[in-house]
Amino acid sequence: MTLGIGRNSLKEAGFTLIEVLAAFAVLLSGLTLVAAAFTRHLAAVQLLEDSLDAGRWADQRLIQETLRRELNVQRAHEDLLPAGVASELTFRSSRPDQDPLKELVIEEGTAQVSWVRRSQQRSTQLTTGFVASAGGKNSS
C-alpha cells in the first residue's frame, strides 16, 4: 500500500486481496488455537470435579463403615450415589508381628468409586487404617 499525491495514487490506496486473506488466515488460526485450549481446559476441570466428588464419596463410605463396625450397628440404608457411579468397600483385619502380647488388630478399609464420563471409565481409590484392640475397641 502506498499513498501519494496525483491521479494514479488513489488506485494504489488500500490492501490487496492477498494481504486481506493472509491477515484473515492468521486471525482464524489464532482463534482456533484459543478455542482448542479452552475446550481442553473445560475437560480438565470436569475431570477434577468428578475426581473430587468420588474422593468425597469414598471418604464418606469409609467413615460410615468404620463407625458402623466400631459401634456394632447394622447398616440402615444403601448409599445414594448418582446414576452411573458405582462404589465398592472392602475391609481386612490383621495382627502385627511386632505385638508381643498379640492384643492389637489393624483394620484397613478401602473404598473404590468408579464412574463413566464421555465413554471413559474413571475410578478413584481411598485406603485408611486404624488400630483396634483385640476386644474390637479403637485404641488410637
pLDDT in tens, 36-52: 999 999 988 988 888 88
Residue 3 lies in a domain: no
Report if residue 1 sits inside a domain.
no
- Please report whether residue 30 resides in a domain: yes
Domain residues for 81?
A: 9-133
Going from the C-alpha of 80 to that of each of 22, 46, 53, the distances in angstroms are 57, 21, 13
* Domain presence at residue 4: no
Residues 6+ apart with CB under 8 A from 35: none
Beta strands in the chain (DSSP E): 85-94, 104-117, 120-133
Comparing 134 with 86, the larger pLDDT belongs to: 86
* Model pTM score: 0.54
| Residue 120 in this model has a pLDDT that exceeds 60 | yes
User: 3-37: per-residue pLDDT in tens?
Assistant: 555 555 556 678 899 999 999 999 999 999 999 99
Q: Does residue 138 form part of some domain?
A: no
User: Number of folded domains in the chain?
Assistant: 1
Select from 40, 129, 139 the least CA-distant residue to 92. 129
